A and B are shown apart, each in its own frame.
Chain A
Amino acid sequence: MSASQTVPQVRPALSSSGAGKSSYEVIREESRSEKARNLKGFVTFVMSRLVQAVFVVWSAVTLVFITIHLTPGDIVDSLLTDSEKNNAELRMRVIAEWGLDKPVVVQYFGYLGKLLHGDFGTSYAQKKSVNAIFAEQFSATLQLTIVAAIIAVVVALIGSLLISGKTNAVVRSLYKGTELTLLSTPPFWFGILLLFVFSFRLGWFPVAGDSSFKSLVLPALAIGIPMGGNLSQILRQGIAKSEEQPYTLTSLSRGLSPAAIRLRHSLRHASIPALTVGGMMAGGLLGGAVITEQVFGRPGLGQIAVNAINTKDLPVILAVAFVSSLVFVIASTVVDVLYYLVDPRLKIAHTEE
């Protein structure tokens, strides 16, 4: 008997309860119905993404529309040559022809209406359909960005998988240095360097144009390698972090080789942050392409955008805004779907929405 126990006074009874059925059993169901739920969750997720995409693209287009109308300068000027500008009659006619005499709101909704039918209107400067201009030029940009993205992923994978905490310290710091230099080099500057060495000095690749696959190599490297450096850094850090986790110790204790652990476990964990950054990069890839296209004198979205802004070519500018916002939305949606595939823990989070 312990000395400090209080003399047991009469303690009022607890106002307690009766027993009931376990409500927790509700959440422990069979895995089959869980799969159905996951699928349902996935469909809801895709639907909500579609709505989001429409909203994002609409806001981008609307914002650009408002901005252009707020900036000084008359849109009609971009429709006329210098000699025509003083011809008042011609001016009136052009205004009526392009519908610029109508209130801005009407013009705006007219534009949206056409957009719904996939019609981007007619370029003021080039006097031809924007759809046609894009059809000609967009594929060049698409080619460039896809090849660049592939180069980036290959560079990142090779770098991050080969370099580990156990690599020779000199090699490792050399690699880290290169990586840092690459990711902090602007693509256009890197492009100029590549041009200097491989086109002017060695003459292996053409200086400009998009005549052949050969002409794609240098601009794609100029964009892809700095991006690869960035991704490689993130992957490497992710792998290092993953290799500190207890599950890596478990794998080691089962006799797995470090290489197997890295390929089967760590890389997958590291790819989660890499996906986040990769998604943002993919969205920004078009922007990067604009400048690189200028450096290499390639046709593409870059050329179109720069020319359109210089000439206040509203339909083209709007189309560029449309396409780039769409690319952003697609990139972030793809990343989210990939998250979903890489990390099974998210499945529950999505169904919770």
Chain B
Amino acid sequence: MAQNDVIAQVRGLNVDFGEGESLHHVVKNVSFTIRRGEAVGLVGESGSGKSVTVRTLLGLYADDEHVQAEEFDLFGESTLSYKDKDWRKIRGSRIGFVLQDALTSLDPLKTIGYQVDEALNAHGKVDKKESAEKVVELLDEVGIPQPQIRQNQYPHELSGGLRQRALIAGAVADNPSLIIADEPTTALDVTVQAQVLNLLKSRKEDGNALILVSHDLAVVASVCDRILVMKNGELVEEGSSEQILHHPQQEYTKLLLAAVPSARSRGRRLSSIKHEPLPQKTIDYDQNLLHAEHIGKTYHSHHGGTVTAVQDAGVDLYRGETLGIVGESGSGKSTLAKILAGLVEPNEGTVTLEGEAWSPIPERQRRSRRQKIQVVSQDPISSFDPRYSVSKIIAEPLKVQKKYTKDEIRRKVDESLDLVQLPREYADYSPKRLSGGQRQRVAIARALAVNPAVLVADEAVSALDVSIQAQILDLLADIQAKTQVGIVFISHDLGVVHHIADQVIVMKDGHIVESGDPDQVFNKPSHPYTKRLIAALPTIPAEERMPR
């Protein structure tokens, strides 16, 4: 390969944060090369140093960040002595950068047209008329319909997918030869994710290079030729996508691959490479836990009309069963979950819990049975009182019942911690000291402390790294085998639902479009929407991933 094909040549990159006692070594001796026309994936969990690594390519450092490298060449020029002024010449014009979640990565107070225009004019003024035309052209290129009108809209007025496209339009405005996309699709629905990934792919096909940073191996695999795996600041493995996915050499890579939930992982442990079978679970179809029929919920929109969040939905959940509800944002799945949990009253239809009326009934009649159904949400830390210790968090729902002595509560807290496999010492910790996965365990422990019949998990693993997600999914399976709790599992992630659910519901625009056995629904979808969802889902094409 010719020398001028090399865009970035990095050898022995080290990044530290802080000084003295609080010094953190975040990137350790990392070396890589990026060439024109190739797409490179950088995979790792949060805290692995992947974002910090790619940001050094743009000279974007925090104030207390120290970057050292033996060799750091961009476009054949050493950048070791670069000042901010020199970096600014590269940023945007030769290397473009796309962050995740355009709602926060675009300025909410400026129109998208303004922001693309700004990117266009960042390196010396372009003629005003020419630049106005170029903005529309760029928005059109990234697939934003009606760019003339859309350019005057603010980020919050656009859907997630269009926002992300507008962000990309700004990043490619000056036609950079390398695009760095840092978790560009993390907040997006699968069908939108597929569109954005295609857009990035088309940049690559135009001869530009792409670095895709993601915690999601399936996303990286669907776009990249080469994958770098990072862990704790070190590059643990590097190879072609083929090689990394099918013949991983390192334990860590194997663990990451094993942790990806999918149809193939059903009934097996995700958090170990060997995929041991999960404990036997029994579903008792004679014991109906939740029965909902003809559920409807409409909200008044802000200009007089009504928005139907859920329409004519029916749900049945049996003892020991996991019911998966999948759908994209706005599909009404969370509203349905709240109605099942008795947190939102439906306008139509009824819900019964263990055969007794549950909703809509007066709250006073419901309150004494509230402990029967518990909710675990996406972000546990915001559902904890920050001043409470772990034991106080778990004990709170027990205290509400006023029927336990102090010792009993203490014992129940310990039992709950055992159940979620957290050490009992953690009872005295503040949730702030815990990692994301541990916090989610505390949230589950709190939900289980009152022996609920039903657990509603609303995107409960969506914010977690894949390996932590694997542990929590295994944990839920273990708990279900032990307690026969019924689980309503809401997720936008089809792989997760296929892995965990015994029964699945697909929702779109408030309707249940398809339901049934997950293998049936996902392998032989009958509704066109489900087909589209499945087609859009990036998967790891690997029979080899089956356990040996």
Q: How many residues of B contact A (CB 8 A)?
A: 78
Closest-by-CB residue of A relative to B305 is A26
A37 within 8 A of B: yes
CA–CA, A6 and B501, complex, Å: 12
A176 within 8 A of B: no
Known A-B contacts A9-B283, A351-B303, A352-B302; the reply to A2 vs B266 at CB < 8 A is yes
Pick out which of these stretches binds chain B: A119-127, A143-151, A250-258, A294-302.
A250-258
Known A-B contacts A6-B281, A16-B314, A24-B307; the reply to A256 vs B122 at CB < 8 A is yes
Pick out which of these stretches binds chain A: B128-136, B197-205, B428-436, B505-513.
B505-513
| Inter-chain contacts of B119 with A (CB < 8 A) | 254
| Inter-chain contacts of B92 with A (CB < 8 A) | 253-256
A72 within 8 A of B: no
Find out whether the CB atom of B277 lies under 8 angstroms from the CB atom of A4: yes
Cβ contacts A214-258/B at 8 Å (1 or 0 each): 000000000000000000000000000000011101111111110
B41 within 8 A of A: no
CA–CA, A253 and B285, complex, Å: 57
Pick out which of these stretches binds chain A: B166-174, B216-224, B536-544.
B166-174
Find out whether the CB atom of A16 lies under 8 angstroms from the CB atom of B97: no
| Inter-chain contacts of A269 with B (CB < 8 A) | 107, 109
Find out whether the CB atom of B312 lies under 8 angstroms from the CB atom of A265: no
Find out whether the CB atom of B301 lies under 8 angstroms from the CB atom of A14: no
Closest-by-CB residue of B relative to A1 is B267
Q: Which of B80-123 contact A (CB under 8 A)?
A: 88-93, 96-97, 99, 101, 104-110, 118-119, 122-123
Known A-B contacts A5-B267, A10-B285, A17-B311; the reply to A250 vs B122 at CB < 8 A is no
| Inter-chain contacts of A5 with B (CB < 8 A) | 266-267
Minimum CB–CB distance from A336 to chain B (whole Å) comes to 16
A168 within 8 A of B: no
Find out whether the CB atom of B60 lies under 8 angstroms from the CB atom of A2: no
B523 within 8 A of A: no
Pick out which of these stretches binds chain A: B151-159, B457-465, B488-496.
B151-159
CA–CA, A20 and B529, complex, Å: 13
Known A-B contacts A4-B267, A20-B511, A254-B92; the reply to A15 vs B104 at CB < 8 A is no
Known A-B contacts A268-B109, A344-B154; the reply to A14 vs B302 at CB < 8 A is no
Find out whether the CB atom of A15 lies under 8 angstroms from the CB atom of B330: no
| Inter-chain contacts of A73 with B (CB < 8 A) | none
Find out whether the CB atom of A3 lies under 8 angstroms from the CB atom of B107: no
Find out whether the CB atom of B509 lies under 8 angstroms from the CB atom of A22: yes
Known A-B contacts A5-B266, A23-B510, A264-B118; the reply to A246 vs B99 at CB < 8 A is yes
CA–CA, A10 and B503, complex, Å: 12
A82 within 8 A of B: no
Partner of B122, one of A12, A28, A254: A254
Q: Which of B285-326 contact A (CB under 8 A)?
A: 285, 293-294, 298, 301-303, 305-308, 311-316, 318
B215 within 8 A of A: no
Minimum CB–CB distance from A52 to chain B (whole Å) comes to 21
Q: How many residues of A contact B (CB 8 A)?
A: 53
A165 within 8 A of B: yes
Find out whether the CB atom of A165 lies under 8 angstroms from the CB atom of B97: no
Find out whether the CB atom of A345 lies under 8 angstroms from the CB atom of B267: no
CA–CA, A264 and B96, complex, Å: 20
| Inter-chain contacts of B283 with A (CB < 8 A) | 6, 9
B400 within 8 A of A: no
A84 within 8 A of B: no
Find out whether the CB atom of B109 lies under 8 angstroms from the CB atom of A342: yes
| Inter-chain contacts of B368 with A (CB < 8 A) | none
Q: Which of A8-52 contact B (CB under 8 A)?
A: 8-12, 14-20, 22-24, 26-28, 30-32, 34, 37
B515 within 8 A of A: yes
Find out whether the CB atom of A250 lies under 8 angstroms from the CB atom of B97: yes
A343 within 8 A of B: yes
Partner of A253, one of B97, B149, B153, B281: B97
Known A-B contacts A27-B301, A269-B109; the reply to A249 vs B149 at CB < 8 A is no
Minimum CB–CB distance from B525 to chain A (whole Å) comes to 14
Minimum CB–CB distance from A353 to chain B (whole Å) comes to 8
CA–CA, A138 and B105, complex, Å: 49
Find out whether the CB atom of B99 lies under 8 angstroms from the CB atom of A249: yes
Q: Which of B405-451 contact A (CB under 8 A)?
A: none
Minimum CB–CB distance from B85 to chain A (whole Å) comes to 9
Partner of B149, one of A30, A250, A257: A30
Find out whether the CB atom of A249 lies under 8 angstroms from the CB atom of B109: no
List 21 A-B residue pairs with CB atoms under 8 Å apart, sorted by A's residue number: A3-B267, A4-B280, A6-B283, A6-B502, A11-B318, A14-B515, A15-B316, A17-B313, A24-B330, A28-B159, A31-B153, A34-B157, A247-B106, A247-B107, A250-B97, A250-B170, A252-B91, A255-B93, A264-B118, A345-B108, A351-B302
Binding site for A on B (CB under 8 A): 58, 60, 63, 88-93, 96-97, 99, 101, 104-110, 118-119, 122-123, 149-150, 152-154, 156-157, 159, 167, 170-171, 173-174, 266-268, 277-283, 285, 293-294, 298, 301-303, 305-308, 311-316, 318, 330, 502-503, 505, 509-513, 515-517, 527
Task: List 7 extra interface pairs beyond A12-B285, A245-B104, A265-B107, CB under 8 A.
Answer: A15-B294, A16-B505, A249-B60, A254-B91, A254-B96, A254-B119, A344-B157
